[in-house]
Structure 1
């Protein structure tokens, strides 16, 4: 397939080109603010001029700390127009994590929402607050493209690091351009609307934002801070979304519940973990017009490396992750870096122009993960085990190392273990995934306490929550006298993955005598129990302490909406994490719906 002739200058040039072709076409909308392509270019250009006045130029690192919104898209484009590169930051990350990322990236300035900048402790001299009530309307200078635009750095995306230090993956404009304009990938056109609902720190956001803007389509921003399943479905329906990406875990949950979201979409990309053939088959039979695409790829190779269009016939067995696209190259090699025979299992190595230059400030780690492969050039060692079918499509067979994926998040257990060892009551620790690949997969910590101590899961969870993102905090905990070892003296992670935490010191507290739940508390507890897979019998039970996580919370919120007619947001859910607190929220919502005063109003 012939590649299109593209204007030089990377992604910013593609957006400017589209603004020239269709200035009045919808570019970005978040429900509150809508920008045409002409308005997007004008706003980004004006902000770029302000950034330049603050000393930002070619090679400058700029943090982005804003809620998912139209202004976030404008800010990222503006940074690129100065010649700088963006460092996406998650508003939910603990302050120390954000500070470490900014320091590691050498960010000169952080652009974002005023309240989030303050919460993160960004000094005023290093912060630029975006106007929440509007965007710049006029450019003081014409937009310009960075020197050597295609090969300039566009993003630094941080992923989990096995040594306790996050890895800053460098992504170039050329890499993003090749991703979003690949003729052998998902084809988008000016009539499409793509849902942007991933956190900006998740590399899927690169596809969600820049794939539509590169071709004259529209970005539709899901405005909820933590969108529930119902939020996503409503956004797809009301904005007429035609294409979206979902993590595999979320897709499985939506498929199990026969979500109406599939009835609106034309194209759906799914990736992050092994795709269930049962769930894929169920969706394709119910919605035969849906273009379901199984995608695979690490951040080091710019979001997606391979893809496979799933047909119902694929669902009789494991669904392949497909073939490389967009200039990516792959090799399946053995431990001596030699090609394995067709059909044999080996480690997947990835090459091509979309490969990262390396990890920011970590030349040793870069040298460890990248090497020259004879006849293939520079390649990245993915750590994933695959085999090739006769037609070249790849099947995924798990990991060759300890790295894991849970709900689409890439997790180095070593990073979690490093943070836990900093707790004074911990002697040894091992973090594994129990029920890997299943819908109830759980990141689980097995802890050996320091002599004379008996740390609780609640205390250790709080310790990690102050230091790590939520997806790196285990949902299962057990205290053991010693960690099991293999014959070579290494921690037996396979044995731990097969160990029920209940075999350790994790017995949940039982209800005290006379401690009964109110009817509303019983409804909440029942919804929790369906998601958690075990009874919940205390009013003061904490969702996270019970082993819950964000995906489970989505289904509790969904059940409460269906059972009681009450819409809770995920933000409300996590700020009211006990059965009793959520029952109070439900009661207030029910009274308000019937026009009755709450206890506080009486």
Structure 2
């Protein structure tokens, strides 16, 4: 399966199943090839071939069918960083159901919101899954033992005969209103990833892709698993202790040809690992997304490893669509150019959605004909109205395009924050802190602590008589929010900066003194 070229047809077949696209041909053409390597602590390594993955996924699909679920029923996955996460995800697609991957970092209350908002019929719970049992209702809960039984049971003969536009995946991300919103993707979303394979990842069937992320992150499920499988390559995921300098040893041990991570991981490698002790000769390049890549880190990585580092820009609603890569030369400070075949424009923030000339700053937009674009927000037509403008989808990024087509990022048109690659709404964090009895007012924003590291910070006005206690407030959030949403810093103020109309000016919070 060679990388897709710009000339390839971008319209998916009318009948298309994402699971079949990634597994069926691979199981037939390369059954004994390793599809997935799960690496744990020490010598704990699990290898799954394409034939084994295909068989297990069709077994899980048959198990779902025996539950009598309607096509399109939602299957929420509450599992850790384990192989079964991937098999259940693709098993849901193979059965014509909608997979809902969720983060293991979510608290029981946060997970319950996703379960109830999505109307999930099934919850697949790993051994350490945090579930609010009182809110399960009549939902079917499948544990690891039940999944093992399904994997070994009689499989379905064929993947579900789904249409390219049928729902396949529901991913939750922060909305501007504060509560998470579901982004619903069709089976065609995997077809829409094809331009990434040649123009960002440089991916082909001979590659070994090592991804540094956790399984429940769409960056990992997409780049770490789906893309290698779509090309017949091998995916490697690590599930052992998160030692900061461990990645070069894993690259060498498993012969990784491509390494995927966020920029902070690359910086940790350069700081904590002795690269001279590892054979990185098979590593062709690294790829990065989720956060902006600082030019100094790009320079340090390429000078030290003598391998390129390719950046991409994307979002939950479309995945990556702007990048550098083997066909797009790197330009420091820019995430790259729109991948060939993508229709990208810069629109005015207000008024008619007419593309702006090169060099002008406006809202980054992608054409609604893009096959990787979401079907819509789950039961949120009000949210859709804010991002769909004529023939274009706008995600809130402010950017410009230069004369060579390179994109330059100028921040957000809203207050959404980027925490460890996840979008987080300040409203959601503020609502949790506002319930604390010692807090009179609170504002939340991002705070730059290094050139490539931004953390969530809460700016708090204490109630009269309250004793400021930052660790206690962080612990309060940690009990109610996923770790990536929890503030890393608390600053105490006498008053929050506000507009003349009384609205908190979040962008000015970072200017205040601690």
Q: Secondary structure at the match of 1:278?
A: helix
- Structure 2 distance, partners of 1:233, 1:443, is 29
1:195 corresponds, among 203, 210, 226, to 210
1:294 and 2:311 matched = yes
Give 1:214 shift.
1.0
Aligned residue in 2 for 1:18: 26
- Structure 2 distance, partners of 1:350, 1:259, is 42
Give 1:162 shift.
3.1
- Structure 1 distance, partners of 2:182, 2:381, is 11
1:307 and 2:323 matched = yes
- Structure 2 distance, partners of 1:481, 1:212, is 53
Aligned residue in 2 for 1:211: 227
Structure 1 length normalisation: TM-score?
Answer: 0.75
1:3 and 2:19 matched = no
Q: Deviations over 1:380-410 (max 9, x none)?
A: 2222121111111111122222122233232
Aligned residue in 1 for 2:3: none
- Structure 2 distance, partners of 1:384, 1:48, is 38
Aligned residue in 1 for 2:156: 142
Q: Secondary structure at the match of 2:193?
A: helix
- Structure 1 distance, partners of 2:238, 2:25, is 26
1:220 corresponds, among 224, 236, 246, to 236
2:378 corresponds, among 360, 370, 375, to 360
- Structure 2 distance, partners of 1:181, 1:341, is 25
Aligned residue in 1 for 2:85: 72
Aligned residue in 1 for 2:94: 81
Give 1:299 shift.
0.7
- Structure 1 distance, partners of 2:205, 2:330, is 31
1:278 and 2:296 matched = yes
- Structure 1 distance, partners of 2:308, 2:17, is 28
Q: How does 1:187-586 map to 2 (within 5 A)?
A: 187-205=202-220, 206-224=222-240, 227-257=242-272, 260=275, 265-288=283-306, 290-301=307-318, 303-309=319-325, 318-325=332-339, 327-335=341-349, 336=351, 337-351=353-367, 352-372=370-390, 377=391, 379-435=392-448, 438-454=451-467, 456-487=469-500, 489-501=502-514
Q: CA RMSD in A?
A: 2.8
Aligned residue in 1 for 2:177: 163
Q: Is the 8 A contact 2:60 2:151 kept in 1?
A: no
Change (3 A) 1:485 1:263: farther
Q: Is the 8 A contact 2:458 2:490 kept in 1?
A: yes
Give 1:423 shift.
2.4
Give 1:101 shift.
0.7
Q: Deviations over 1:309-358 (max 9, x none)?
A: 3999956xx42122222753211112323332211222211232211122
Q: Is the 8 A contact 1:343 1:387 kept in 2?
A: yes
Give 1:239 shift.
1.7
Q: Is the 8 A contact 1:333 1:349 kept in 2?
A: yes
**Structure 2 gap ranges (5+):** 1-5, 40-44
- Structure 1 distance, partners of 2:393, 2:416, is 15
- Structure 2 distance, partners of 1:127, 1:283, is 45
Structure 2 length normalisation: TM-score?
Answer: 0.87
Q: Secondary structure at the match of 1:356?
A: coil
Segment of structure 1 superposing worse, 306-315 or 84-93? 306-315
Give 1:120 shift.
6.8
Give 1:231 shift.
3.5
Q: Is the 8 A contact 2:199 2:324 kept in 1?
A: no
Give 1:242 shift.
1.6
1:176 corresponds, among 166, 170, 190, to 190
- Structure 2 distance, partners of 1:234, 1:55, is 46
1:95 and 2:108 matched = yes
Give 1:106 shift.
0.9
Give 1:255 shift.
3.6
1:28 and 2:42 matched = no
Q: Deviations over 1:212-263 (max 9, x none)?
A: 1111111112122x63323433332222222222112222333445663866
Higher share in helix: 1
Q: Whose RCO is larger (CA < 8 A, sep 6+)?
A: 2
Q: Secondary structure at the match of 2:189?
A: helix
- Structure 2 distance, partners of 1:119, 1:230, is 36
Aligned residue in 1 for 2:42: none
Give 1:437 shift.
6.6
Q: Secondary structure at the match of 1:441?
A: strand
Q: Deviations over 1:527-557 (max 9, x none)?
A: xxxxxxxxxxxxxxxxxxxxxxxxxxxxxxx
**Structure 1 gap ranges (5+):** 502-602
Q: Is the 8 A contact 1:158 1:168 kept in 2?
A: yes
Change (3 A) 1:128 1:327: farther
